[in-house]
């Protein structure tokens, strides 16, 4: 049977992992989604997968403490990384986030790419910068989505896109930057296509080399 066009057309919740463990085996390429809370990450995941409540299922008050994995039609995994709401979070929360998310980003060989969401109305908040700083040494592909773009006028959209592109240009990643709206659908199809490409590339050998056993 021919494979469905997009890996995002068959998605299922797989597992939650915490600081104490629970990560699935690294046998499939992973696409990690990150962003501060309320940026529209769950809505974006739902729009990309055409599911209404997929990413909300795992949205509980303790969500800064878990990484949620979703299977993408057996071709890859979507990884929902926790974000927090404010720059000034208790030190303990930040330390736990560093350990969990930083640990994942720094060590995950299955990681094929990272999608960072920033609110198009006010990108580059302190938390966004903190996240981008964490991503600096991460060599995988990076896509920055400027979320809730429907809240901006056409002129504002053009402006924020070029500002964000200029600001991210020349960084370690050569990040792609796009406008995105779960509500209007702007950028949804293009993002799905790009991420499918990333999965395909990761599945055909464009991977980090395996770590040799001792
Ligand atoms: P998360 O905390 O990052 O997962 O954010 P959610 O997906 O839960 O969205 C936070 C709030 O922003 C909710 O009230 C959503 O309805 C709203 N929202 C999410 N995406 C969009 C969008 O594309 N456009 C608009 N106007 N609102 C959005």
Q: Where are the domains of the chain?
A: 7-203
**Residue 67 near residue 101, CB atoms below 8 Å:** yes
Q: How many CA atoms lie within 13 A of 21 on its CB side?
A: 1
Nearest-atom number in ligand 1 for the CA of 36 is 3
Cα(120) to centroid of ligand 1, in Å? 12
What's the confidence (pLDDT) of residue 1?
A: 60
- Ligand 1: atom nearest CA of 39 is 3
179 lines ligand 1 (CB under 6 A): no
**C-alpha to C-alpha distance for 49 and 196, rounded to whole angstroms:** 12
Please answer whether residues 8 and 47 qualify as being in contact, where contact means their C-beta atoms are separated by less than 8 angstroms. no
Q: Phi then psi for 113, rounded to 5 degrees?
A: -170, 160
- pLDDT at position 210 is 42
Give residues with Cβ within 8 angstroms of 92, minimum separation 6: none
Identify the pLDDT of residue 190: 97
Q: Give tens-digit pLDDT for 58-100.
A: 565 555 688 999 999 999 999 999 887 665 678 888 888 899 9
Residue-level pLDDT at 57: 54
Among residues 58, 32, 196, the alpha carbon closest in space to that of 114 is found at 32
pLDDT at residue 62 in the model: 53
| Ligand 1, atom 27, residue with closest C-alpha | 148
* 209 Cα–ligand 1 center, Å: 37
Determine the pLDDT at residue 214.
35
User: What DSSP character marks residue 138?
Assistant: -
| Burial degree of 107 (CB within 10 A; 0-12, 13-18, 19+) | exposed
Q: 16: closest CA among 47, 59, 48?
A: 59
For residue 116, the model assigns a pLDDT of 96
State whether the beta carbon of 64 lies less than 6 angstroms from ligand 1.
Answer: no
Q: How many CB atoms lie within 10 A of CB 1?
A: 3
- pLDDT at position 44 is 96
Fold of 7-203: Rossmann fold (3.40.50)
Three-state secondary structure call for residue 136: coil
Distances (CA, A) of 5 to 1, 75, 81, 132, 194: 12, 12, 26, 31, 13
Closest ligand 1 atom to residue 43 Cα is 7
Report the atom number in ligand 1 closest to the C-alpha of 46.
7
Phi-psi region of 33 (alpha: psi -120 to 50; beta: other; left: phi over 0): beta
Low-confidence ranges of the chain (pLDDT < 50): 208-214
């Amino acid at each position: 049977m021919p494979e469905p066009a997009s890996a995002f057309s068959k998605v299922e919740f797989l597992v939650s992992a915490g600081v104490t463990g629970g990560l699935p085996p690294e046998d499939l390429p992973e696409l990690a989604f990150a962003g501060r809370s309320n940026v529209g990450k769950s809505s974006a995941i739902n729009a990309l997968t055409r599911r209404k409540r997929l990413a909300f299922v795992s949205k509980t008050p303790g969500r800064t403490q878990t990484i949620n994995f979703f299977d993408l039609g057996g071709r890859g995994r979507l990884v929902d990384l926790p974000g927090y709401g404010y720059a000034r979070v208790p030190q303990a929360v930040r330390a736990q986030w560093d350990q969990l998310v930083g640990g994942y980003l720094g060590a995950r060989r299955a990681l094929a790419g990272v999608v960072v969401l920033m609110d198009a109305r006010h990108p580059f908040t302190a938390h966004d910068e903190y996240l981008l700083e964490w991503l600096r040494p991460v060599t995988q592909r990076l896509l920055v989505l400027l979320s809730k773009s429907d809240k901006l006028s056409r002129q504002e959209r053009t402006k924020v896109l070029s500002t964000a592109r200029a600001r991210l240009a020349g960084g370690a990643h050569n990040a792609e930057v796009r406008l995105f709206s779960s509500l209007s659908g702007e950028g949804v199809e293009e993002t799905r296509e790009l991420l499918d490409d990333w999965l395909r590339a990761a599945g055909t050998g464009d991977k980090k080399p395996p770590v040799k056993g001792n």
